[in-house]
A and B are shown apart, each in its own frame.
Chain A
């Protein structure tokens, strides 16, 4: 019963709260690439890997009152804040009585980082079949407005290495 939705509830349970849709998108993408059992399909959009399916699943869970979605206006756009509700926790227990098998430490580590940094990490992961120099060139071209530096990209690589070695 809605197993993929339940995994997202489990993610919110482990992280307490995720601020920003972009951050949530990148967090799930990175976790999926690091072998967490998410199935959502991602495509590259203007701001990196993005899943319409994930956006809709969150909307469905907000409608079902499984998650609390608060949004605040920020310069003409809204920023969303997600957390688990008691009804969501009850659903999670019913749908996945044995747990979702998520790596809580990994999710917390990701959630501690900024959306901008996770955007960079997810972009590096998206192109990880390319040599590092080509990935850098992609980041500079595709993410020109974010002004990522060489050091930022090196930090993203080190971050991914550390997560993979855990």
Chain B
């Protein structure tokens, strides 16, 4: 526990110190140093818990009513502390060179203040053992990340994105307030350690609590259809902040759901089905829209929706399997979902940090203005391709391992159950396959349009390789991806204790799980070996054969221009018009040629979020219009308002007398 406290203290003093320093370079230095040391301490304590299983707890008095500064690092909390501290460490390292340019124009002290506080808030959220403390740190996490998203607040779209995020986060917060007030009312305490009676409440109230948790935490986690803030907020934020938010901040929502489910009575199957179906729908929805985005960070944000969907699919199916009495299948599904959570933190870190280096080098987020970057930024490009392989669940990287576990769980459920009950897991299995194939469309597009071909813009033509520190951060995260892909047993061994906390299992079953994935790591190793061998062979041959250079074949056309090469829209069009339903297609404006001597026409294509634009926007506009009708209540006269206060007090008094009469 001491190490964890030291980490928190370093983060808090570091944030204040950063706030006090006006000079950007010094503030960056202090911020980076504080985050790195603090994260190393937090990492040590989480590894200690994961390896030894010792539960660390501490409790300090706190003057807030109902509150207690109680921290608890059990394996489930440590499972989340590990990626939070790991990713924060590399994001902080990356932020130094990334923000250097921005720091010449304005002071970075406020950025580092909020960054350090956000890391501290995330660490506190997953370790808080008191509902009041939890909600306070949850709010602190929301506010600090809001300020980080709104860093470039001079741009209108950034302000809008940050505002949407704040709004969505607080709608979720209201559900969480209701959840913890109800739970606190049942248990007469706000300490998680006193939440024991929750496990004995009737199913009806438990379901209400579960739904509150699923949707309240789901907003933060990006659970479909509550993901609406995500595609706007991620592009608006600086890249290392997007990486941190997408990689770990939204995972605190999953932590919340897992924690609440572990407190509630044994879950009925429909809880799991609800989660798995929303997850599957989100995965398909997210990846289909990711294949349409021109903005590289928006594309990655939608891929986050997809991956969160896969995690929810795994965890939800795990709940189903537990409820229906298949502990083996539940273990596979939970292991897949949880491992995917770690994996996603690693490869989404690589991808967002890589997107940051491309933006930094070209000055744009628009993939149609990039191109040919692999020649100019060979290392950053290589790491980005590696990250894409991992995120597309391709061997030999880690994404395949976690998806494989979920696949196997679904397939075994489908093969084992008699009758049509087996159809649901089997269809989810096919859906996961479709999502994987669409991920291939998305990421070949992202890599192909951004990195390959010829530069489509002067900004891309003059791009230069990223700073070594930025490359080091990306490279280390990618090494982690490869390590889990080649040696998945290691990651599963580290996950054994958190797994046994969320699913009924025995050490033998966990050991068996390690043996099951071992061949996958072996196959990945074999693949790497044969690939290197063949590539070496080709390399040797190339040195001994005549080489000629020429231009690309363009059907005999002699004056090729980069403007003729494929664009992001062109690449996504085929899938959009042949695979997607009409409401998910991008909207095309303009492009009409009129008259016999037409003026130059312009064509603009845009992909907006259908849930936000077609569902939530009309809904909330409608509500706002209805509320307009209540404006006659606002008369603007003091006497009327006094009358309202009188009525309100009278009603409250009557209610308290009535409630008191019933003995409540």
A binds B: no
Q: Which residues of A contact B (CB under 8 A)?
A: none
